[in-house]
Amino acid sequence: MEKHEQLYSGKAKSVYSTDDQNLLVMHFRNDTSAFDGKKVAQLDRKGMVNNKFNAFIMEKLTAAGIPTHFVKRLSDEESLVKRLQMIPVECVVRNIAAGSLCRRLGVKEGIDLNPPTFELFLKNDALGDPMINESHVRSFGWASEEQVAAMRELTFRVNDVLKQLFLGGDMLLVDFKLEFGLTAEGELVLGDEITPDGCRLWDKNTREKLDKDRFRQDLGNVVEAYEEVGRRLGIQL
């Protein structure tokens, strides 16, 4: 697939057009960021690790009947995806309290959330990705009522699939963020990525952090932890 001009370069990935107007190349770079881009670094191998990790997870989700933008992995750092009109809303599910939930509600990190929570955030770095609700999404026209319901349903289905998958590697899926978009045919599908950059993953027994909190909290061995997650899932990195 011929890669044409760069359409967008975000904090961790760049997106290119291709010969086919409905397909894009997604390049996973080594750039890492946290706190809405205020903390940044280059981490060796991260682009490759996340691209291979994402491909593995997207294939698992496809096999479980969840529609995604993923077509195929092209190289170490690049994958082919369907071009989406992105819905500018991040869907977050939490199984265990951590991160912004603890800061916002003053709860202790590590408490079980039963049932899991579902939260929406506006994708807007300048505003610090503020939390929003379904009413905002509808009033501002970011998505329809049916689309919000579908995003919620798909997010919980992804949670069911991934919780089991990570548990198989003795890991707890604490929380994660998903983004959705519409294909040229108007189908709502999962977009963006699922990697340890956008999930919290803890060792089931020690609760050691194996995700981007290692970068946020300066715990070191960030990519090594991502590789450990991959090894436990049997991913060839």
Residue 233 φ then ψ, to 5°: -90, -5
Give min distance, CB of 192 to ligand ADP, in A. Answer: 4
With CB under 6 A as the contact rule, the residue among 25, 49, 55, 84 that binds ligand ADP is 84
Q: Which does 15 bind (CB under 5 to 8 A by kind): ligand ADP, ligand UDP, none?
A: ligand ADP
Quick one: which of 114, 223, 62, 92 has its CA closest to 159? 92
Q: Based on the shown chain and the rule CB under 6 A, indicate whether residue 116 belongs to the binding site for ligand UDP.
A: no
Give min distance, CB of 2 to ligand UDP, in A. Answer: 30
Nearer to ligand ADP, 67 or 116 (CB): 67
Do residues 78 and 27 lie in contact, with contact meaning Cβ atoms separated by under 8 Å? Answer: yes
Binding track, positions 21-40, relative to ligand ADP; x by CB under 6 A: ---x----------------
- Reported residue count of the chain is 237
Q: Based on the shown chain and the rule CB under 6 A, indicate whether residue 15 belongs to the binding site for ligand ADP.
A: yes
Q: Which of residues 113-152 bind ligand ADP (CB under 6 A)?
A: none
Q: Based on the shown chain and the rule CB under 6 A, indicate whether residue 181 belongs to the binding site for ligand UDP.
A: no
Give min distance, CB of 59 to ligand UDP, in A. Answer: 20
Nearer to ligand ADP, 12 or 173 (CB): 12
Q: Which does 10 bind (CB under 5 to 8 A by kind): ligand UDP, ligand ADP, none?
A: ligand ADP
Nearer to ligand UDP, 38 or 220 (CB): 38
User: By CB under 6 A, which span of 16-24, 70-78, 141-149, 170-178 interacts with ligand UDP?
Assistant: 170-178
Tokens 């027994």 correspond to: 205
Report the interface residues with ligand UDP, using CB under 6 A.
Answer: 90, 92, 98-101, 129, 175-177, 198-200, 212
Report the interface residues with ligand ADP, using CB under 6 A.
Answer: 8, 10-13, 15, 24, 69, 81-84, 86, 179, 181, 191-192
